[in-house]
Chain A
Amino acid sequence: MTLITVENLSVRYGANTVLRHVDMAIEPGEIVTIVGPNGSGKTSLLRAIIGATKPSVGKVSLKPGLKIGYVPQKLHIDPTLPISVERFMGLTHRVSRKSCAQALETAGVPDLLQRQMSQLSGGQFQRVLLARALINRPEVLLLDEATQGLDQPGSAAFYRQIEDVRRETGCAILMISHELHVVMSASDRVICLNGHVCCEGSPAVVASAPEYRALFGTGTGGALALYRHDHDHDHDHCDHSQEAAE
């Protein structure tokens, strides 16, 4: 059964229309990436899906009782707010210490349970956000530019973690990114957004589509290859990311 259906969605802020007639759907277990330049309405689309922004036209329907795991773009924790990783994991649902540790393991950061959130590095912080989103065993994971602030090996490792998550839990993944070269190979489907859906399809199809090239230029074609190269040398990066975490 389709998890998320977006029909003829338009979003307007005042006189400014940021999304026009967007149609899309997320099926169980697929990885969908939304790419688009700044101001193309990527974040507005995600906000409309979680109900934070009201559509001016059209509608968003979720499968009844759909469990969503949400990884925000950035999460600022005020320095005056003391909170440990374990407490943060149980923010919205009571969770056992065991499932906490398990989710952290899945997200690739075991042994952080007792640390304060303020003591984490950027990469650890993003993975804890991922772990928190996973703890409730979601059917779909929404990621809003979740690798902002990570360096390239860091975000490549993060996206590989996402692929592992899909393989292990079978949950669908909808992510937004402007880091096309890092993201695209991992996706089953790419939706290129610029106020409306420009083009849609497998990463290779989108990368060669004229609409996509008009938006991003041909330079990203080379960058796409860069990620493939990274992927061939999987083990190197795993080692690096573990060193960085320690």
Chain B
Amino acid sequence: MREGIKRAPGFWPRATLFYLYLLFLYGPIFIIVVLSFQGENASLSFPMQGFSLYYFSEVFDPHYIGDYRWPFGRSVILGLIVMVLTMGISFLAGLAFRKNFKGNILVFYLVVASLICPSILISLGIGIGFSNLGLTSQWWSGGLGAHLSWTLPFGVLIMLAVFSRLDPRLEEAAKDQGATQWQTLRHVTIPITLPGLVGVALFGFTLSYDEYPRISNVAGEHNSLPVELVNALALAATPTIYAIGTMTTLFSLLVIFASFVVVYFMQRRRRGYGAKKMLKEA
């Protein structure tokens, strides 16, 4: 029966634009993957020279100028720390914002300011601040702070949106039934806001893992992956960069896939749990 559907006027132009945009998004990534399989002494551009896994082995070669294994590991660890902190801080802030505490407007504007503040200002400010205290900023100290200044606005804005859609009657009902504050939080508030929290987690990790300008001055002697990549570009640009691109993209796809599997099973478990409970009570 679907053939009978009458498309809205302008459907095809819009559909065309959508798929063209996807092509525009994926084209360069596809090229990266293709060009990362070149033979030795290749350049960053076409024509493709030879076919080998040379540049993939280069990534793992410890004698190579930029050994990318450690920066990659650091970026993942930093991303995970930023993810957990962004989730926790944003969730707590979301709880507080619901109560419209005194000064909430000021804190809200501070969050927006953190989002729009020019990256170099944050980077330079943290770097100079550390050195004036007699410290050297490292990726896990100043770098972590720089990343939080970027991820927290997204986290808090998402949590504000999530909490504004949360029906407070659900929590009131739990309290009326004698649940303590902690039980309400644990069994009502957190489960309902979980999809939003997963979103915050994904945002937190991605934004940190990918971030360059804010951490550029404060990573210390041990760089994160994006900083290492920009440095490598300035020195000698080889298709090794594409090989890293190919591998990190693959890694990211795995992470996304894994998180979807987790969310899927969480939802299924929750549904199953509710149904079982109903059966028991019946």
Q: Do A and B come from one complex?
A: no
Chain A residues within CB distance 8 Å of chain B: none
Chain B residues within CB distance 8 Å of chain A: none
